[in-house]
Amino acid sequence: MDAVSPVTTLEGARLDGRADDDRATGDRAAGDVVRTIDLHEADVRTLNAELHAPRHRRYEVLNSQGAHAVAAGLREEIEVRVRGHVGYYCAGMNEAAHVVVDGSAGTGLAENMMSGSVRVRGDASQSAGATGRGGLLVVEGSASMRCGISMKGIDIVVGGSVGPMSAFMAQAGRLVVCGDAGDGLGDSIYEARLYVRGGIGTLGADCVEKPLREEHHAELAQLLAAAGLDHATSEFRRYGSARSLYHFTTEHAGSY
């Protein structure tokens, strides 16, 4: 029987760009003043340097225009609202911060995320949430190929569809797809749990459909609620590892 982990990454997460009133960010933070940084006037290095040593709890970033590495490497419990599209590796290595992007994101969104939350109002390019160890990533639109590749504990909720090879070698965490999934879903998966509402191109090696038990309905409902999505859990199917490829043998060589 698969153990169901508590949804600890969702506690206190506010993904609408607003934090709870009692959320603290340390002595350096200053009240509820919104600090606005315009990337027409400052570069990304300057932006990230301030976000790494924040003087405020809330930030607004203007004119992002597809800039790379926006809000990367954050380690304070602050809120960052990006008004526009972002390029590669936005919110990568995020720890504790809550980031909202009012647009779409390029490759490597929230890569190696540790905690906190990241929400993208549009679509995400390939490898969203790659290697993520914790926190909650929400893509309101669709995500391209390799979404959740090698995920290690992150929770990912996609409002649309995901591309091929999503959750490839996914080790832990949950991926919720409210649309369709491309070919090779969950290829060489370990112990991550996948929930898909729509159709699937093909399942990857060692990925199989599994029963959707009461405890899975409960955790799925909690993930959907945290993402602000109103779907019935009965519309989803669950997928996970058949556990037949954990150790390489010549008998399974043709499956890799």
Give residue limits of the domains in the chain.
26-245
Of 88 and 18, which is predicted with more confidence? 88
Q: Is the dihedral of CA 199, 238, 145, 61 positive or negative?
A: positive
Of 76 and 249, which is predicted with more confidence? 76
Q: Whole-number mean pLDDT of the chain? A: 89
At 249 the pLDDT is 67
At 245 the pLDDT is 77
Residue with tokens 């936005």: 90
Predicted TM-score of the model (pTM): 0.87
pLDDT tens readout for residues 120-153: 999 999 999 999 999 999 999 999 999 999 999 9
Among 118, 17, 122, which Cα is nearest to 74's? 118
pLDDT tens readout for residues 110-119: 999 999 999 9
At 32 the pLDDT is 76
Indicate the CATH number for domain 26-245.
2.160.20.60
At 255 the pLDDT is 60
The phi and psi torsions of 48 (rounded to 5 degrees) equal -65, -35
Residue with tokens 């930030």: 59
**How much of the chain exceeds pLDDT 90, in percent?**
82
Of 77 and 252, which is predicted with more confidence? 77
